[in-house]
Structure formats: structure tokens, C-alpha cells
Chain A
Amino acid sequence: MTMAETLPLLILLPFTASLLCLLARFLNRFLLAQIVTAVSVAASLLILGLLLPVLRDQGMLTYSIGGWPEPLGITLYLDGLAWTASVMGAVLSLCALLFAFGEGSYRSDFYFFFLMLLAGMEGVILTGDLFNMFVFIEIVSISSYILIAYSLTRNSLWASLRYLLLSSLGIAFFLLGLFLVYRSTGTLSLHLIPGSFGLGEGAANLPVSVSRSLGLAAAMLTVGVGLKAAFVPLHTWLPAAHAAAPHPVSALLSGVMIKISFLAVWRILTAFGSIEVQSLFRFLGPFTALFAVVLALSQTDSKRLLAYHSVSQMGLIAAAYGAASRAGSGALVASLAHILSHSMFKSLLFLSVGAVIHVSGERDLEKRGRSSSPPWLLIFFLAGAFSISGLPPFNGFVSKTLISSLFKTEPVLATALRLTAVGTAASMIKLSGIFRWSGKRSISLGSEGEKPRLSPFCIASLSVLALLCLAGGVLPRLVLENLIVPAVGSSKFGTPTGSLYGSIYTARHLAESLAYAALGGMLYLFIRSPFGSRWLRRLGRLRLSLDGALLLVVAAVVMFAVLGGYL
């Protein structure tokens, strides 16, 4: 039983656990569902741990399902990238699970959909076949529609339907791109499509019509999967969906799902070798970051503000990935570093704000609620807020410094990233408004009767995430050296040199991050001023209609095809 044999276990395990949850729902044994879910997530984490040494010396593990070789059957690929993404998924779903146990208000079919979402994401990142990726994207999508609408409240249903329609249009374009790939290369497996479009060796002898339809296919596949990674033209579904979802679900969606979709885009573009589409992200990323931060500042609902931040941080990740077309694999290291750190501090923020809402029942920042929440919850929130604004001791600082060092040569993009950092700091100060202490502490506790106590499970998951954020920031070399660099090594740019991430804790970087925080504070004061808040309030009420959002998806396909080297 070689180690490569355990690859299908990574996918089979969550599916069997979800089967047991289905059984638990049928026999309505609630506790069984909880235990089974926790055991299966822990087991997949264990398997990933065992796979690390084998992966370290073999570089890449493959497993052909049913014994059929590549072009005929489907093959699972576990390279550094997939391993890092799976560990991120497993750790974060463990924390989200702990929080869900703490909240305790979920029946056993919640855990069924939770496991399906996890298994689907695992499948998307492991599979080497395009149509199989389509099937797993569908599993991820349907389980996220259901989980978003799980609380069956009015606006969660509407948010889930908006997301369903937008995502299905994206997936239809993915299928159309798949058709073009099969027509021009006769195979569906990602690793057999030669990098013939851009860098690859087969580029010379391709007839114009084949390379043209391959370029179009790359654009459509990128938009199809990119819609779930939520960069600007395709982000319209995310704020409503993540705000309406239950707390552990929005933490998992923001933390892991949009990252794994972006890594799928990464894999597709590496296989197609299309440099033009990748360099498109160099401009799209900073624009997304700035655009979403401005919208985040104008939000009054706390979870919607955080959701817009997910879009803006995805912009940063896309910008770093786009810069790789020029700066080589150093940019890929920065992008993957930010993927990891963002998944941790965004889940921490969503869960801590969720805990405050769970305890105080108040989610709107504007309302002068009298309710108060336990002060030590603020510590967890501050850990998340400091790392998202890129302040020194936390992992956000490490990855943001790496990303900003990529854009030294382009003044325009660099200023966009700096403004984003200032906007992020300002909106974190605005978000901290949710921790209002009402002066009359004694009265508020008494009159409100028994307030829901925060269970130790929630505290455990919050502290694990806070420690991860701190560890990522305090020892960056540990994380970068043996977690991220081997992962990027498997991409076609080769392993990056050590010089790039050598100097992170330099005086200049520290000064820069503190300056951004200070500017953020001043921006927050400006927003509180009557002129600022009136202008912002108008922006906050801006809503894009569903038809407009659908149209944006079609426009994105045309834009990616035309700008992405189709001509």
C-alpha cells in the first residue's frame, strides 16, 4: 500500500463521513453526525501529515483512478500546491466545525452539507481532469447554495438564489470552454494539454485556428472558475451570500472556497501556459482591491463589510499572481503566502464577529445598541484586524510586504495597493464599533435576561486561529521555507531563489505598515465627519441588479477573451 494509494482516501473519507451523517439524520442521532464529521476532518489532516515526507522527496504523487492511464481515465495529482491548499482547507474546516459545535443550533444535515463542501473542494484541487473538475465545482457550488440558505431566512434565500444563477452562468461558460478544449486537443486531462499556447514547446506547429480556440477556451475556463474566486467583474454575488450565511459557513467560504477556486484558475492557466490572461490579473488585482475597499467602507452591516474585504484581499492575491508573468516565481510565493495568511485572519474575523453577533444579537454598526459583549472577545478580533491591516507581529504583515515589494517598479499599481492598505485599516476601526460597551453595564445585563453564553468550543476555535495568525507572522521563514516554496516549485517557473523573502522585518517595512495604520485612523475620522458620512451613505446604498450582474459575467468572458491574447 504505497503512499500514493492514500490519495483517493482524501476524497473518499469525507464522502463516507457524509454518508454516515445522512444516516444519522435518517435515524435522527444528532451526536453521531458531529462525531463523524470531526473524526473525518481530523483523519484527512493526519493523512496529509503522513503524505508530507513522501511528497518532499518525490515532488508529485499521482494516482490513476480505476487503473486507467492519463488520457483514458482520470488521474489525481498531489503536488506542493494541492498539499498546501488541502492542509489549509482541513485546518480551517476544523476551526469552523468547532465554532459550529459551540453554536450548537445546527441539525445533522448541516454537517452533511459541510462535509460535501469540504470533499468537493478537495476534489477540485486534486483532480487532473477538466471535466472531473467541472463535476467537483458543481458539488462545491450546490453545497454552498444550500449552506448559504440554510437558515431559511428571507434574504439568505434571495442571496443564495442570486449566487446560484450567477455561478451557473459561469459554470456554463466553463462547459463551453471545455468543449473548445476537447475539440482542439482531443483530450480532457489538464496535464496533457501541452503548454502549446504560450511558453510550451508545441507552440510552433499549432495551426492558427487551434491556438485561437485554445486561447478562447482558456478565457472561458478562467471566467467559469474565476467567478467563484470573486475578482471584480465577477464579485457581485459574494457580499450578500457571505453576509447571509451562518457564521461557520461564511468563515469557510471566505477562508477556503474562494482560494481553492483561484488555485484552480492558477492550475488551468499553468496548463494552458497563457501568459496574456495571467498578466491581465496584474491590472485587475489592484483595481479589485481598491474598488472593494471603498465599497467595504460604505457598508453598515458588519458581515457585509467583511465580505467586501474578502473581495479586496482576493484582488491582492490576483495582483501578486499576475505579477508572476513578469517577476517570475517570487510573485507566486507572495500570492500563495497571502492565500494562506488571508484564509486564517479572514476566518478569525468572520468567527469573532459571528461570536459577537451570537452573544449580543446586534450586527448593524450604525445602531446604538445597548447590548455589550465580553471584552476578551475583543482580543481575538484585534488579532484578526491587526493581521488584515498588515501590522507587524501577524502573518498579514509578512504577505502584504511580499506583495508590495513586487510592485516597486509600477507607481500606479503600487499607490492602488497603498490606498487599499489605508482603506483596510480604516474599515477595521469602523468594524470595531460592534464592540460597543454600553455605559450602564449592570442594567443591560439584568434586563436582557440570560444572554447566550459563548461555549468553550467557540473560544477554542478562535484561539487556534489567533495563534495561527501570530505564528505565521512571528516565524515567517518557517512557513515560507517548507510550506510555500516547495508548493510553488512545482509550477513551471521553477523553485524561487531565497533572496526575495529574505528581508521582511526591515525598518522600512515596519515604518510603512505603521504609517498605513495611522493614515487609516485619519481616514476613519474623515468618514465620521458629516461631509464624509453623507457621501459614503449614498455609496452604501448602491446595489447592482441581478440582470446587471449576469451581464457583467458575459462582459467578463468577452473581456478576458479579447484582452487575453485572442487577437
Chain B
Amino acid sequence: MKESKIVDLVSRKLVPYILLFGLYLISYGHLSPGGGFQGGTVLSSAILLLCLSRGVEATSRLFTSRAVNALEIAAFTLFLAMAAAGMAVGVSFLGNFLPLGRIGEVPSAGFILFLNMVIGLEVGTGITLICFSLLRET
């Protein structure tokens, strides 16, 4: 893929805003349309934009696949820990053990907010890993 200067410049300027939008989708998942899966996909689409504009090798130097793999395992551990925590606290398996807070505020849905973040991280790293290995393969 011959990287043209324009695509490279525009994508480097655009990526931070896409990442910001992804984070917005994750953190406001319980208040407005969005959530963990959608936010995670937007995050990985930002990284893929970098891949397409500067090639997989350059991007994987920035996001080394070993670090992304570690992040994914951390996210999966967090998810299982939260699932088991509900049971340990005595509510029930995967039950909401955090206070619900004031409806309509950001920190309001207790358990759901943190689950959204963990899933956002999980899906983001997962899809990035899949696309890295498939892109590197061709």
C-alpha cells in the first residue's frame, strides 16, 4: 500500500477525535444510545485507520500486539472479577452490587457503567488483534 501524504496527514489528525468519540460512547452508554460494544468497535476503527494509512508495521510498533494482548487478558480478568464480586458480596452472580446513584447523572447506573468500560476495552483490543493478524497475513 503506497501511503500518500494527504491520507497520512488527515488520518493522523482525525484519529484522536475518533478515539474521543469511542470513549464518549462507552462512558455515556447507559444514558444515551451507545455502550460497550459500539464504543469498543469505534476505538478499534481508529487504530485501523492508522493501520490503513501508515501500514500495519508502523502501527504495530505503536500498539505492539503483545501489549494489546495483555490489555485484552486484563479486561477479561476484570470482567470475571466483577461477575464473581457480585456473588462474593452476596447479591448474586453478575448482580449489581453498587449503589444506583441519581438517575440521569453519569455515575448513575452503578454496575452497568463499569461493565460498559470493561466491555469497551475488551471489544476494542479484541477486534484490533483480529484485524492486525489478518492484515499482517495478506
Q: Does chain A touch chain B in the assembled complex, meaning CB atoms less than 8 Å apart?
A: yes
**Contacting pair A12 B83 (CB below 8 A):** yes
* Set of chain A residues within 8 Å of B70, measured between Cβ atoms: 26
Looking at the complex, which of B32-40, B41-49, B91-99 is the stretch in contact with chain A?
B91-99
- Interface presence of B10 (CB below 8 A): no
A32 on the interface (CB 8 Å rule)? no
Q: Assess whether A67 is in contact with B95, with CB atoms less than 8 Å apart.
A: yes
CB neighbours of A483 from chain B (8 A): none
Minimum C-beta distance from B37 to chain A (A) = 14
Pairwise interchain contact A8-B73, C-beta atoms closer than 8 A: no
Question: Does A366 reach chain B (CB closer than 8 Å)?
Answer: no
Q: Which residue of A lies closest to B96 (CB)?
A: A66
Chain B residue contacts of A65, Cβ below 8 A: 92-94
Selected contact of B92 from candidates A15, A16, A23, A66, CB within 8 Å: A66
A22 in contact (CB, < 8 A): yes
In Å, the complex CA distance between A5 and B93 comes to 9
- Please measure, in the bound complex, the distance between the C-alpha atom of A63 and the C-alpha atom of B93, giving whole angstroms: 9
In the complex, A371 Cα to B70 Cα: how many Å? 47
Tell whether, in the assembled complex, residue A15 and residue B93 are in contact, meaning their CB atoms are under 8 Å apart.
no
Q: Which residue of A lies closest to B90 (CB)?
A: A1
Complex CA gap A8/B87 in Å reads 9
B84 located at the interface, meaning its Cβ lies under 8 Å from any Cβ of chain A in the complex: yes
- Indicate whether A288 reaches chain B with its CB closer than 8 angstroms: no
- Size band of the B side of the interface? 10 to 19
- CB–CB B80/A19 < 8 A: yes
On chain A, the residues within 8 Å of B91 by CB distance are 67
Query: B93 contacts which chain A residues (CB < 8 A)?
Result: 8, 12, 63, 65-66
Most buried by A among B70, B73, B87, B93: B93
CA–CA, A8 to B69, complex, Å?
Answer: 27
B46 nearest CB across to chain A (Å):
25
- A residues in contact with B92, CB < 8 Å: 63-67
With both chains docked as a complex, state the minimum distance between the C-beta of B89 and any C-beta of chain A, in angstroms: 12
Q: How far is the CA of A491 from the CA of B80 in the complex (A)?
A: 34
Q: How far is the CB of B94 from chain A (nearest CB, A)?
A: 5
How far apart are A447's CB and chain B's nearest CB, in angstroms? Answer: 42
Contacting residue for A19 out of B73, B94, B95, B96, CB 8 A: B73
The answer to whether B76 touches A66 (Cβ under 8 A) is: no
- The docked-state distance in angstroms from the alpha carbon of A536 to that of B8 is 65
Q: Mark A15-43, 1 if CB is under 8 A from B, else 0.
A: 11001001100100000000000000000
B99 CB, min distance to chain A CBs, angstroms: 16
Chain A residue with Cβ nearest B70 = A26
A155–B13 alpha-carbon span in the complex (Å): 47
Tell me, yes or no, whether B77 is within 8 Å of chain A by CB.
Answer: yes
A63: min CB distance to chain B, Å: 7
CB proximity to B under 8 Å, residues A209-243: none
**In chain B, residues 75-116, which have Cβ atoms closer than 8 Å to a Cβ of chain A?**
76-77, 80, 83-84, 86-87, 91-96
A-B contact number at CB 8 A:
36
Known: A12-B83, A19-B76, A19-B80. A26 touches B69 (CB 8 A): yes
Kindly list chain B residues whose C-beta atoms are within 8 Å of the C-beta of A12. Answer: 80, 83-84, 93
Roughly how many angstroms separate A64 CA and B94 CA in the complex, as a whole number?
Answer: 10
Q: How far is the CA of A175 from the CA of B92 in the complex (A)?
A: 29
With contacts A12-B93, A19-B73 taken as known, whether A66 is within 8 angstroms of B80 at the C-beta atoms is no
In the complex, chain A residues whose CB is within 8 Å of the CB of B87 = 5, 8
Chain B residues near A63 (CB-CB < 8 A): 92-93
A5 to chain B, nearest CB (A): 7
Q: Which residue, B69, B73, B86, B92, has most C-beta atoms of chain A within 10 A?
A: B92
A23–B72 Cα distance when bound, in Å, is: 11
B64 to chain A, nearest CB (A): 13
Closest to A16 in B: B80
Chain A residues with CB under 8 A of B76: 19, 22
Shortest Cβ distance from residue B97 to the other chain A in the assembled complex, whole angstroms:
10
Q: B96 to A23, Cβ gap below 8 A?
A: no
**A22-B73 in contact given A5-B87, A12-B83, A16-B80 (Cβ < 8 Å):** yes
Q: Which of B69, B73, B77, B95 contacts A66 (CB 8 A)?
A: B95
Cβ contact within 8 Å between A23 and B95? no
- Is B73 in contact with A23, judged by CB distance below 8 angstroms? yes
State how many angstroms separate the Cβ of B113 from the closest Cβ of chain A: 16
- Residues of chain B within 8 A (CB-CB) of A66 are 86, 92-96
Cα-based distance from A66 to B97 in the complex (angstroms): 10
Chain A residues lying within 8 Å of B84, measured Cβ to Cβ, are 12, 16
Residues of A within 8 A of B95 (CB): 66-67
B45 to chain A minimum Cβ distance, whole angstroms, is: 23
Contacts of B83 in A (CB 8 A): 12
Distance of B123 from chain A, by nearest CB (Å) = 16
Output the nearest chain A residue to B72 by Cβ-Cβ distance: A22
Q: Least Cβ distance of B67 to chain A in Å?
A: 11
Contact with B along A55-83 (1 / 0, CB 8 A): 00000000111110000000000000000
CA distance A66 to B84 in the complex (A): 11
A66 to B92, CA, bound (A): 5
- Which residues does chain A contribute within 8 Å of B69, judged by CB atoms? 26
> Cβ of A8: which chain B residues have Cβ within 8 Å of it?
87, 93-94
Chain B residues with CB below 8 A from A64, complex form: 92
Contact status B80-A15, CB under 8 Å: yes
Identify 5 new A-B residue pairs, CB closer than 8 A, beyond the known A26-B69, A66-B92, A66-B93. Answer: A5-B87, A8-B93, A19-B80, A66-B86, A66-B94
27 A-B pairs within 8 Å (CB atoms) are namely A5-B87, A8-B87, A8-B94, A12-B83, A12-B84, A12-B93, A16-B80, A16-B84, A19-B73, A19-B76, A19-B77, A19-B80, A22-B73, A22-B76, A23-B73, A26-B69, A26-B70, A26-B73, A63-B92, A63-B93, A65-B92, A65-B94, A66-B92, A66-B95, A66-B96, A67-B91, A67-B92
